[in-house]
């Protein structure tokens, strides 16, 4: 979402310093995304996002959510093949 927020600020408020932008991004990250986006458009354009903008944002949010979902494994889970390989490599390369 941060990248989307950066794009919006770059388009509608391009004069922000990096510090100002970071402060605004921090605040935005703590808000409900849909409510924040609607409030952002109201502030900077005087109306909500257009249908085209809404569709773009919805697609962006869907893609972003699916790419950042994390899978939680139980703590007793069998180590992955990568974990086994790393552990094996570490065990065989230990220095005396």
Q: Do residues 37 and 49 lie in contact, with contact meaning Cβ atoms separated by under 8 Å? A: yes
Q: Is the pLDDT of residue 18 over 80?
A: yes
Quote the tokens at residue 76.
Answer: 């007793």
Phi then psi for residue 17, to 5 deg, are -75, 165
Cα–Cα distances (Å) from 40 to 8, 72, 94, in that order, read 9, 34, 55
Quick one: pLDDT at residue 1? 87
Q: Give residue limits of the domains in the chain.
A: 2-68
Quick one: pLDDT at residue 67? 47
> Which tens digits make up the pLDDT trace of 58-86?
888 888 765 444 444 444 556 665 566 55
Quick one: pLDDT at residue 69? 45
Q: Do residues 2 and 29 lie in contact, with contact meaning Cβ atoms separated by under 8 Å? A: yes
Under the banding of pLDDT at 50, 70 and 90, the label for residue 16 is: very high
Under the banding of pLDDT at 50, 70 and 90, the label for residue 31 is: very high
């Amino acid at each position: 979402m941060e990248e989307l927020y950066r794009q919006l600020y770059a388009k509608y408020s391009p004069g922000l310093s990096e510090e100002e932008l970071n402060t605004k991004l921090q605040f935005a990250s703590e808000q409900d995304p849909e409510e924040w986006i609607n409030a952002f458009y109201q502030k900077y354009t005087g109306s909500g996002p257009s249908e085209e903008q809404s569709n773009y944002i919805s697609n962006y949010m869907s893609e972003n959510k699916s790419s950042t979902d994390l899978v939680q494994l139980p703590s007793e889970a069998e180590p992955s093949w990568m974990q086994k390989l790393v552990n094996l490599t570490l065990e065989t390369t230990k220095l005396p």
